[in-house]
Structure 1
């Protein structure tokens, strides 16, 4: 089957994961307020709303590649998740002129692959299998993607200086010598040995089976009102649950933890015990946040926090990435933009 035939087949079925991934990118940036992030009412000094629209359009070719190559369907059988991700990042950067959705694409690429694969489903097990199937070549492509844009990242773990992602393609010999797959690389940041360090939440998704993504998708699916408002409330829930990685990288772990505490205050959540309702996990995890608390979030109250975060330069970008991934899953499971 040719590339065009595969695309037409997906669209004729009315079930195109690439459309849903593109829509998730667009709805995520349209949600407001998302304290500290660009939204349809607020630009940052170096990022504008329309840049994210351009990034979503530019990333589509890479997302198409992720879907078309599911289950070994690439024309020559060699295109992996890493190559699809690299293509998406390059397209995003070319159209947006900057880094708008690097982290979103890192999460969306395996989700799209799982959704498009006839032998898997869009579930923690399905996307987990996609991540475990990655190769050293995928890791090399992931590192090359850092050459297309500037990405704010922390220092590598002790003993892994040769695997610093900021080295880009120069890290290829170390990756091959260590036989590091893309999932192996992300596992280095998912659970750092230093307990004071905020884990990389996006990397943790890859290693843990996307628990934050699927939890927040349920918040969105069971919420009411415009989808962009549901996304904004889910963003607050995710930020309240765990400190944001980007904030920790740019402003320090303590500021990241304080930002989460401030989000919890907006949701009127306690600090010592899991919230009532369907909260099932310990404080400090996404399962500690009750869906009802998210659904009842006062977006007017969140507006004050948004203004404060913008003034203080606190940008919870990783939380936005997770919100985008959750939107994709919610859309695949029936969420709609239509009233």
Structure 2
């Protein structure tokens, strides 16, 4: 199934995907409906999903640019006390919503067209989104300090001088950031995980938790590598495999990872994107 088969609009499905992602449990290291972090709670993610809706609506409106839609979604998401809840997930969802809007079939080719059509203005808006919340990012490549995303709107001149589109900016980070890699690779993992969701059984949050583990097993989480270190990122993947194989208790692993601050955020972002694609293709809730 590659067409659209949902009773909801794409915007409704995007908001629902964010809600279902955080409701899935256990997702080792992440906030879910059973676990909070010290400074980031389940309720913050619910509020973030609702707040992002206006930006997601702009993504479905072709009179508004993708970058504008993303910045608006992040700004709306930020209207809760937890800070950054779904920045990476929104970076996946905005082009997906654009690709599937107006009743069109949501395919990898459609998303690739959205990415290819991004502009320098979209890149500038993406940078401005960093002014709304603190986002854990690594240092820019050597010689590209002017393009450090932490500069926010102050990087506009450098972006325009280099003529960098949002697609170009994503390509610069694709080797070290799993969400940026999706932009470069045609959202390959997102669509594959959506098929896993559709082929599974049970409630949508339970399916999401299992897909989270499969994604974490499939590839080391770049957010863990960035915020902890490569060793813990590799450990997270290895132990997710043990949990998926029934050799380790997933609930206990989730508690341990929260306690140790091992937070596979990129994997959660991909799960949200996959949920959206699956909902568009008929996943029932």
TM over 0.5: yes
Normalised TM-score (structure 2): 0.95
Query: Is 1:81 aligned with 2:85?
Result: no
How far apart in 2 are the matches of 1:117 and 1:143?
28
Distance 1:15 1:24 in 2: 12
What is the correspondence of 1:186-201 to structure 2 with a 5 Å cutoff?
Answer: 186-191=170-175, 199-201=176-178
1:43 alignment partner in structure 2 = 36
- The correspondence for 1:314, drawn from 262, 275, 278, is 262
Counterpart Cα distance in 2 of 1:26 and 1:64 = 16
Q: 2:140, 2:44 → 1: CA distance?
A: 29
Pairing 1:150–2:134 present: yes
1:313/1:95 Cα in 2 relative to 1: closer, same or farther (>3 Å)?
closer
Partner of 1:334: 282
Alpha-carbon RMSD across the aligned residues, in angstroms, is 1.5
**How does 1:1-339 map onto structure 2 within 5 Å?**
14-69=7-62, 74=63, 79-95=64-80, 97-117=82-102, 121-191=105-175, 199-268=176-245, 301-337=249-285
Summarize deviations over 1:296-336 as a string: whole Å, max 9, x none: xx598211110111121100111000000000000000101
The superposition leaves residues 206-257 of structure 1 with CA deviations (integer Å, 9 ceiling, x where unpaired) of 0100011011101100000011000000000001111111111111122211
Residues 242 and 248 in structure 2, CA contact (< 8 A), matched pair in contact too: no
Cα distance, 1:132 vs structure 2: 0.8
Which structure would you say has the larger Rg? 1
Retained in 2: the 8 A contact 1:52–1:96?
A: no
Query: Deviation digits for residues 245-286 of structure 1, max 9, x if unmatched?
Result: 111111112221121111112223xxxxxxxxxxxxxxxxxx
Does the 8 Å CA contact 2:147/2:158 hold for their aligned counterparts? yes
Is the contact between residue 55 and residue 96 of structure 1 (CA under 8 Å) also seen in structure 2? no
Aligned length in residues: 280
Give the drift of 1:95: 3.9
TM-score w.r.t. structure 1 length? 0.80
What stretches of structure 1 of length at least 5 have no aligned partner?
1-12, 192-198, 269-297
Alpha-carbon deviation of 1:14? Answer: 3.8
Q: Residues of 2 paired with 1:121 and 1:95: CA distance? A: 34
User: For residues 250 and 20 of structure 1, do their structure 2 counterparts lie closer, same or farther at Cα, with a shift above 3 Å needed?
Assistant: same
The equivalent residue for 2:3 is none
The answer to whether the 8 A contact 2:39-2:82 is kept is no
Write the distance in 1 (CA, Å) between the matches of 2:121 and 2:82.
Answer: 27
Larger mean Cα displacement after TM superposition, 22-31 or 300-309: 300-309
**Contact 1:30/1:40 (<8 A) preserved:** yes
Extract structure 1 runs of 4+ deviating beyond 3 A.
Answer: none
Q: Structure 2 vs 1, CA of residues 205 and 17 (structure 1 numbering), >3 Å: closer, same or farther?
A: same
